[in-house]
Amino acid sequence: MDSMLYLVDLFGTAVFAISGVILAGRLRMDPFGVMVLGSVTAIGGGTIRDMALGATPVFWITDTTYIWVIIVTCIATMMLVRHPRRLPWYVLPVSDAIGLAVFVGIGVEKALIFQDSYLIAVIMGVLTGCGGGIIRDVLAREVPMVLRREVYATACIIGGAFHVGALMMGASTGSAFLCCVVATLVIRLGAIRWHLSLPTFALDK
């Protein structure tokens, strides 16, 4: 189970890095800019989480496999994905949803190792899933996706709530983690499939 989770975590890291590279390509950044945007997207959320929890050194310093995955992914994407529109439309969103769901579960679990508050654990799960994308969008001078109508952060919050709810009801750590991943993934995939969005708050001028 642990080895499978680790592989899926690396998969999510690669997928998030790809999304950063594609945005960098659309903005015509140089290779260094591509690497930066890919890296912060992939590990930015987990880095902020570890720093907030006092989990030092952060995870990618103790396990440099994450850095190598990002480097290889960024280089491969720059070489191979010249025309991202030629990919089936669902490939990147679905892959992103899988990575997001796993990241939320990992964030919740890691938060519970360092403190006892379920509320903070949910927040850390959301931060792990969304933090890198927020940094990416800010660097690209765009409004972060989680602040728009996308059902993205909402899926993370609900998934994190399922995680801690299952633990409160006496479920095992593995079962609670699975509940989180499934809930986050189902909500996010449903939002992608049926173009679901949240209502916006708008003031009259």
Whether 135 contacts 41, CB under 8 Å? yes
Residue 144: asked if its preceding bond is cis (omega within 30°), the reply is no
**What pLDDT does residue 92 have?**
83
Which of the two residues, 159 and 91, has the higher pLDDT score? 159
User: At 147, is the pLDDT very low, low, confident or very high (cuts 50, 70, 90)?
Assistant: confident
- Per-residue pLDDT for 127 more than 80? yes
**What pLDDT does residue 80 have?**
85
Alpha-carbon distance of 192 to 186, in angstroms, equals: 10
**What pLDDT does residue 149 have?**
78
**What pLDDT does residue 205 have?**
66
**What pLDDT does residue 199 have?**
86
Structure tokens at 137: 């969008």
- Per-residue pLDDT for 1 more than 60? no
Alpha-carbon distance of 159 to 122, in angstroms, equals: 8
CA atoms within 13 A on the CB side of 90: 8
**CA neighbor of 131 nearest in space, from 23, 10, 44, 35:** 44
Which of the two residues, 61 and 143, has the higher pLDDT score? 61
- Average pLDDT (33-62) is 96
10-46 pLDDT, tens digit per residue, is 999 999 999 999 889 989 999 999 999 999 999 999 9
**What pLDDT does residue 204 have?**
74
- Per-residue pLDDT for 3 more than 90? no
The structure's pTM equals 0.93
User: At 85, is the pLDDT very low, low, confident or very high (cuts 50, 70, 90)?
Assistant: low
Which of the two residues, 80 and 43, has the higher pLDDT score? 43
Q: Count the Cβ atoms, other than its own, within 10 Å of residue 15.
A: 22
**What pLDDT does residue 49 have?**
97
Q: DSSP secondary structure string, the chain?
A: -HHHHHHHHHHHHHHHHHHHHHHHHHTT--HHHHHHHHHHHHHHHHHHHHHHHT--S-HHHH-THHHHHHHHHHHHHHHH-S-GGGS-TTHHHHHHHHHHHHHHHHHHHHHHHH---HHHHHHHHHHHHHHHHHHHHHHTTS--GGGTTBSSHHHHHHHHHHHHHHHHTT--HHHHHHHHHHHHHHHHHHHHHHT-BPPPP----
**What pLDDT does residue 151 have?**
93
